[in-house]
Structure 1
């Protein structure tokens, strides 16, 4: 394979990669910048400045130099771009070059090693550790500190999963080759500059919750932001360009939901974050939009952002806000992660906490509950979606098929700012209909005097590392509920997927523009019209052949999910919980915002430093895998 764009700069790199690192090039490259005016975290004050590169000789400095090329000059050379350089290529950096990257980042470079290596024959084999990690493998907390593990392992390629057969093979697949375990901004800048100048693929990982495998990439250098854990409470946030005058939190990119929720609760506050405990709130969650148990009263998580710090593809460290780098600020609030830069911190609105009532219950076919009555009961629930979401409700429910039987599980129904009596009044009409259908159950309905306790006590810990599964989603609009015939068609499409054996996970909520404060941001416009975010998933046998997997995925995307698209033309899908094979992903995930996002992408990142599956601009690239299945287990090459 040949590295990216052959410019004079690249020719210099060819020379640089063939020489030994000089003694004078050892040591950390960074400066400490005053944070008085910007309110940086300490780790954000440690930055790479152009003068820091003077500590290196010329051939080494060019590896880490900032990008000054114009988009016009780079675009003129696009025809020379083939693939990112890959291990085994003659231009793959030598050990001495990787050692240099390690030194200038202060020892932050980590070699990618699959966590399950201890289950396989070889120097890393450890039977006790293998037994332990196998018992913890689906627990998202277990993987939080791992720099390469992907929580959607299908897109890693399933090349090194826990096993009871040590003689099996364990390979890197879609795992990154090296990782910068970032603890300051300078390390991120060095990693971005290095990847751009050398032509190595760059990926970004916070927690790895993305359903499409965006945090992986074979032969890549990864920037791991999980350890950027700063958190700062601002009692009265004031900034030009915004009318927000309330409390705010500034949080590092690595802060997770359980951390920011607790910090807010300790001050009698709450922030808009996800339902999952370990999701990185300030990473891809906010950048991709971010739905929340509070979305029906406060909108999307991206709607709450007041300011962001970010390292851009040219290696510069910027603030994006209502008055600085406004176009980038617009894009980073909903336009998708791993494509415009690496966010190091986000400042978000905080609200006084509110009480909430939650209800959990289930019913299933069998006994007195017939198939027909089960579905009549589910259909009756659909009639309340507008009323409930307009009342601020966020419901999280499942329809689980198994051997011809069906289970409906509400886990949970969340009524923010509602008493027990008010919540029962919302649920009572539907519950009466269920009882009349012979569907009897005992709901666990509980009042909490604050949002944090309601969230912590009601939502299950998310299960990760699901193998042999593909997921897709659809944002079904309010218009489908305002027309009885269209509502029936929508329900029939949902039911058809369940009848085909597919799992349904769904949410009833309405994060309208008004509830988000009428923000001008890049959140998929389909969210503003949605009252149901529905996910479907298909499974295949663990021993399925490549041909069988391809057939299952093809049918899922183009038959089962097409039914949902047919009843909601022009709607969309949620970027963070998506089908990697989604047709016309630009419209589905970004809607009318896509042309503006793409124009900004090409302006900010003319050298294509950042790529992620279904991210803005990703249509120009493809991951070439040996088996042809969608995953990160292959080299990244330009399309055409």
Structure 2
């Protein structure tokens, strides 16, 4: 499938925040490297001087490993080869040369390319020097500047507007939609802005609200560092699972879910204040009383759509322990595995509403011959006894399913930090092929779809059918692929804050959901163009069976870049209001998309 139309929410900053605009609206007129209006060398030099010499030219990270490239360097290439697929160790080894620290690198290489054969990848499975191919610039911006504060961001924005240069914003490059890079742009790198501080009694600027404990962190702080800090301070915060994620970026701007979400709400529900530089270059401190419309939109309404965020303050809680039940279930191989898989999904679906409404996270990953099933519950709000009815029914089905592994404890992890850094983070990292290509699609299954036996069965059948579509091009094991790709059923939706659905810009589908169902596949060098296109088409089509049931909402941060009805899918009824706020704060519509996209104005 040759996808040539990524519809992003056009805005000033080319983190390509997936949102778009209602007509009438200004159509951006950006310069490109090939245009005569591209800024002169002296203009770039002036920007460099104003930022203390921090402007750098970017080439793809792996260019030093291509013999045909002018940058080829054997010694530098060895460093690239060492860190090429090592981002699961990057947080523990701060000086390791890995993707999250490299301005020119993203976590998934398809988003570094402008289509098949127009990037600069190495083979994820066996990275080595490339002898017979050309390294293309792809989506890698030609220039990058590391900013240290909001004043730096303001200087960059004003220069970019004056010179009609698009901006991309990057922290770690952990983005399943490729919003951290685009060609002919100036990259704003926030990764060094990683200060973290605890404020025991925080009151938002200009507010008369009662003080609450809070955590303030810079735009470059990633989850691993924040969890380490909160662990040391004996506090907890609502954050995500993959520790390579930068908290202030797409995570909170897309909504943000994690182990505490069913019991405490989305990450976006806990944002108290944001420092942001908007399209006019203004440095704004926004909260519920200062620029409240923008504050509403920033919390879940689309990553990169509103400005360059330089710091965020979120509410915290006292230390929270996490109980867990970690299971491996094996179906009876002598029976029909398709039937058993669908029935097991339906079995969990029977209890899912009760689980999420009780603050319990469920994670089901159903391979055909083995199901990974994890439950996590905050000890402050939830009880292991809530799981007993499910366990009891499962035991009655012993002729169909065997519990091959069971590690269960009501007090398994002393804190959220321990749970995330010792188990949950590494668990999800083990399914991420950092350094390969990757594409996702997803649907948010509402609680209303899991209320009757018939509706639960329909949902289970649709999920399994989606998995079959997903795996069609993978079944024969073509070169450059990694085997079967199961669906992920993530039961970590914000049941606790469902009544606050209109208090943030986040997709209302998140607040209504019982499950977040994700389909995804990875591939690498060795997969030919036909295989790559078939995988992309399969991922895109895997949600069709759920869509046919009227389940159409999706979580943008783990959604499909090629959604056609993306306004409704990612934003629901909030889209029109988000678009109006966009026009208020960015009337010039200075955002772009990646690669060969259709610039459409709404």
TM-score normalised by length of structure 1: 0.78
Is the 1:486–1:567 contact (alpha carbons within 8 Å) kept by the matching residues of 2?
Answer: no
Please tell me whether residue 180 in structure 1 is matched to residue 151 in structure 2. no
Q: Which stretch has the larger CA shift, 358-367 or 330-339?
A: 358-367
Map 1:4-403 to 2 at 5 A: 78=26, 83-121=29-67, 122-126=70-74, 127-134=77-84, 136=86, 141=91, 142-157=98-113, 159-162=119-122, 163-167=127-131, 168-239=133-204, 241=207, 243=209, 245-364=211-330, 367=333, 371=337, 372-400=339-367
CA–CA distance in 1 between the matches of 2:393 and 2:211? 41
* Alignment RMSD: 2.8
Change (3 A) 1:94 1:251: same
Change (3 A) 1:515 1:230: farther
* 1:510 matched residue in structure 2: 493
Q: How many residues align?
A: 538
Alpha-carbon deviation of 1:610? Answer: 2.8
Provide, for residues 283-314 of structure 1, a one-character-per-residue CA deviation record: whole Å limited to 9, x for no partner.
21101110111011111000001111100001
CA–CA distance in 2 between the matches of 1:513 and 1:300? 9
* 2:556 matched residue in structure 1: 575
Change (3 A) 1:451 1:136: closer
Is the 2:443–2:518 contact (alpha carbons within 8 Å) kept by the matching residues of 1?
Answer: yes
* 1:465 matched residue in structure 2: 434
3-state SS, counterpart of residue 443 of structure 1:
strand
CA–CA distance in 2 between the matches of 1:96 and 1:209? 33
CA–CA distance in 2 between the matches of 1:259 and 1:306? 20
3-state SS, counterpart of residue 378 of structure 1:
helix
3-state SS, counterpart of residue 519 of structure 2:
strand
Alpha-carbon deviation of 1:277? Answer: 1.1
Alpha-carbon deviation of 1:143? Answer: 1.8
Change (3 A) 1:78 1:321: closer
CA–CA distance in 2 between the matches of 1:442 and 1:595? 48
3-state SS, counterpart of residue 383 of structure 1:
helix
Map 1:394-433 to 2 at 5 A: 394-400=361-367, 405-410=368-373, 412-417=374-379, 422=385, 425=388, 428-433=391-396
Provide, for residues 304-346 of structure 1, a one-character-per-residue CA deviation record: whole Å limited to 9, x for no partner.
0111110000101011111111111111011111111011111
Structure number with the bigger relative contact order (C-alpha 8 A, sep ≥ 6) is: 2
Alpha-carbon deviation of 1:129? Answer: 2.4
Alpha-carbon deviation of 1:515? Answer: 5.9
* 1:595 matched residue in structure 2: 576
3-state SS, counterpart of residue 234 of structure 1:
strand
Alpha-carbon deviation of 1:238? Answer: 2.5
Change (3 A) 1:466 1:108: closer
Larger radius of gyration: 1
Map 1:532-611 to 2 at 5 A: 532-538=515-521, 543=526, 546=529, 549-550=532-533, 552-557=535-540, 559-569=541-551, 571-611=552-592
Change (3 A) 1:423 1:481: closer
Is the 1:497–1:560 contact (alpha carbons within 8 Å) kept by the matching residues of 2?
Answer: yes
Alpha-carbon deviation of 1:543? Answer: 5.0
Map 1:459-498 to 2 at 5 A: 459-461=424-426, 462=429, 463-465=432-434, 467-498=436-467
Is the 1:512–1:527 contact (alpha carbons within 8 Å) kept by the matching residues of 2?
Answer: no
CA–CA distance in 2 between the matches of 1:467 and 1:343? 28
CA–CA distance in 1 between the matches of 2:208 and 2:334? 57
CA–CA distance in 1 between the matches of 2:334 and 2:211? 56
Is the 1:302–1:333 contact (alpha carbons within 8 Å) kept by the matching residues of 2?
Answer: yes
Alpha-carbon deviation of 1:136? Answer: 2.4
Alpha-carbon deviation of 1:189? Answer: 1.1
* 1:443 matched residue in structure 2: 406
Is the 2:219–2:248 contact (alpha carbons within 8 Å) kept by the matching residues of 1?
Answer: yes
3-state SS, counterpart of residue 558 of structure 2:
coil
The runs of 5 or more residues in structure 2 that have no matched partner are: 1-22, 92-97, 472-484
CA–CA distance in 2 between the matches of 1:430 and 1:256? 41
Alpha-carbon deviation of 1:551? Answer: 5.1
Provide, for residues 1-21 of structure 1, a one-character-per-residue CA deviation record: whole Å limited to 9, x for no partner.
xxxxxxxxxxxxxxxxxxxxx
Change (3 A) 1:420 1:441: farther
* 1:44 matched residue in structure 2: none
Is the 2:436–2:524 contact (alpha carbons within 8 Å) kept by the matching residues of 1?
Answer: no
Alpha-carbon deviation of 1:550? Answer: 4.1
TM-score normalised by length of structure 2: 0.83
CA–CA distance in 2 between the matches of 1:489 and 1:135? 39
Alpha-carbon deviation of 1:171? Answer: 1.7
Change (3 A) 1:430 1:469: farther
Is the 1:296–1:515 contact (alpha carbons within 8 Å) kept by the matching residues of 2?
Answer: no
Alpha-carbon deviation of 1:552? Answer: 4.6
Provide, for residues 387-413 of structure 1, a one-character-per-residue CA deviation record: whole Å limited to 9, x for no partner.
21122111223223xxxx443223x42
Q: Which stretch has the larger CA shift, 162-171 or 235-244?
A: 235-244
CA–CA distance in 1 between the matches of 2:198 and 2:579? 34
